[in-house]
Amino acid sequence: MNILVCIKQVPDTKIIKVNPKTNTLDRSSAPAILNPYDAHAVEEAVRLKKIHGGKVVVLSMGPPQAKEAIKKCVEIGADEGYLISDRRFAGADTLATSYALYKAIQKLMDEDGIDLVLCGKHAIDGDTGQVGPGIARRMEIPPLTNVIKVEEVDPAEKMIKVRRKIENGYEIIQSTLPCLLTVEKEINEVAYSPLPNMLRAARYNPIVWTVDDLKDVDMKQLGLKGSPTIVGKMWPPAKSDGAQMLDDEGDVKKQAEKIVSLVLEKRELFEAKGGER
């Protein structure tokens, strides 16, 4: 069973700062990491490979530094990693990103065949969750989003059953293979990498393709030219004010009483203003 995982290198959003003048992310303020959801997708692919055989290939679009994220996937257990990197991909929105990744996937399918495509639920920087379903639409395969468990796979019968998270609970759905899954963090725990994987990753050199390595590319659909969306405005959320420190050190009962009285006080104020904040 050949599994392809799309992975993205992202800035660590726990650390990244927003430039107060431009209101854009200051990417130099945070280290680049493998998108955490993608790490879970690779872990799941490796788990399925151990049961059903085949291989795990990862694919990323990004600058040359994104090789580091691919090497991290090799550490988790991926067999091969491809990076599509070219100035002509730059400035892509999600539509152009899914097109470029699809063109690389087509080439990989021609070479080896792909039974399953995995993506993260979303990238922690762009946060749209559109790239996975975008790829599935272009490949004309079913997208199964927000997957928290692979219940059953039968590669011979070309069948997969997964558990999805939905608004009020869960659902189990079955699909034909190939299909595309976007995965939640609950799907697995990313295990510590064994030493042989770490050694292989340290020496591993991902395969880099440019636009010229891909077949039948419509240049109008790439990069900035192929991106119809425009970011009109960006701003950080307003800082909440009125926060208070509770000073009754360690006395939980007193702290709880204080919180209740503060909430009641705020409600009275809110009602006195006729429900306006």
The footprint of ligand FAD (CB under 6 A) covers: 6-8, 35, 37-38, 60-62, 91-94, 97, 101, 119-120, 122-123, 125-132, 229, 231
Helices H / strands E in the chain, number of each: 6, 13
Strand partners, 173: 162
Q: 253: how many CB neighbours lie within 10 A of its CB?
A: 8
CB of 277 to ligand FAD, least distance (A): 30
CB of 93 to ligand FAD, least distance (A): 4
Nearer to ligand FAD, 129 or 206 (CB): 129
Q: Which residues contact 59 (CB under 8 A, 6 or more apart)?
A: 4, 5, 6, 7, 81, 82, 83, 84, 101, 104, 105, 108
DSSP letter for 194, please.
P
CB of 273 to ligand FAD, least distance (A): 37
CB of 37 to ligand FAD, least distance (A): 5
Nearer to ligand FAD, 236 or 275 (CB): 236
The residue sitting closest to ligand FAD, measured at its beta carbon, is: 126
Element (H, E) at 172: strand 169-176
Nearer to ligand FAD, 91 or 194 (CB): 91
Name all contacts of 158-162 with Cβ < 8 Å and 24+ positions apart: 158/115, 160/116
CB of 16 to ligand FAD, least distance (A): 14
